[in-house]
Amino acid sequence: MANYQVLITGANRGIGLEFTKQYAQDGWNVIACCRDPQSAAALQALANAHANIRIFSLDLADFAKIDALALQLKNESIDVLINNAGVYPDSSLGDADENEWLDAFKINSIAPLKMASAFTSHMAKGQLKKIATLSSKMGSVDDNTSGGSYIYRSTKTAVNMVMKSLSIDLKPYGIAVVTLHPGWVQTDMGGSNALINTQTSVSGLRTVIEKLNLSNTGKFIAYDGKEIAW
C-alpha cells in the first residue's frame, strides 16, 4: 500500500491510542500527539513496538503550540488528520461552571478548527486529504431526549457546525471532512458500562474515514456507518 501518514490528537489513551495502534499495525506513519508524552506509558510502549509511530507533545489549549508543531512539520504531507482529543466536564441545571465551559469550548470546538487551519498546507500535499473530527451523538440537537450535560453537549454541537462549514471551505483544496460519533465506548470518558470497546469503535470509524471523499464530505456519521441527524 501507499506510504500514508496520519496525525492523531489525544493519542495517549482510549480511542486515540487505539487509532494509533491500528494505523501503525497497517503500516501507516503515525504522528501521535498528546499533552504530556512523558506520562503516556501505553503510547510510549506502542511507539517502542512500532518504528512508524512518532510522538509529539501538543497542548490543544495552547494555539501557539499548534502553530509551532505545524512549522516543525512544514515539509511533511499529512493524509488524514484526526481531531480526537476532547474533554467532558460534568454539568447540570444549576451546576455548570463557566470557566470549565470556556475551557471545553476551546478544546472541543475551537481547537479542531485551529488544527485544520494550521495543517491545511500539509494536507494539501497529502494523497488522501481527509479530516475526521470526533464528536458525539450527545451533540445532536435531534437526538437530545434526556437533557443535562450542558457543557459537553453544547461544545459538541458547536464543533459539528464548525466541521460543516469547514467541509465547504476546504472543498476547493480537495480536502474532505467528516464528523464522527464513536458510539458509547469503554474508555476513561465513556466508563466501564459502555456498550462497545475501542477496537470495535475504531475499526468502524476507520471504515467511515476510508469511504470519505468530496462527494460525501460534511456529514455526521456513526462508527457503524449510519448518518446521524444534526
Contact 81/23 with Cβ under 8 angstroms?
Answer: no
Output the nine-digit C-alpha cell for 33.
500527539
- State in Å, rounded, how far the first CA of the chain is from the last one: 35
Rounded to two decimals, what is the model's pTM?
A: 0.96
Three-state DSSP class for 175? Answer: coil
Contact yes or no for 70/77 (Cβ under 8 A):
no
What domains, with CATH codes, occur in the chain? 5-222 (3.40.50.720)
What are 150-198's pLDDT values in tens digits? 999 999 999 999 999 999 999 999 999 999 999 987 777 666 777 788 9
Strands annotated E in the chain: 5-8, 29-34, 53-57, 80-83, 130-134, 176-181, 219-222
User: What pLDDT does residue 67 have?
Assistant: 98
**Dist CA 166 CA 152 (whole Å):** 21
Residue bearing cell 501557539 = 64
Band (200; pLDDT cuts 50, 70, 90): very high
Residue of higher predicted confidence among 187 and 129: 129
- The dihedral region occupied by 129, where left means phi > 0, alpha psi between -120 and 50, and beta the remainder, is left
Q: Give the confidence band of 149 by pLDDT, cuts at 50, 70, 90.
A: very high
- Among the listed residues 74, 69, 45, the one whose alpha carbon sits nearest the alpha carbon of residue 59: 69
Outline where DSSP puts E strands in 147-218. 176-181
C-alpha 86/C-alpha 83 separation (Å) is 9
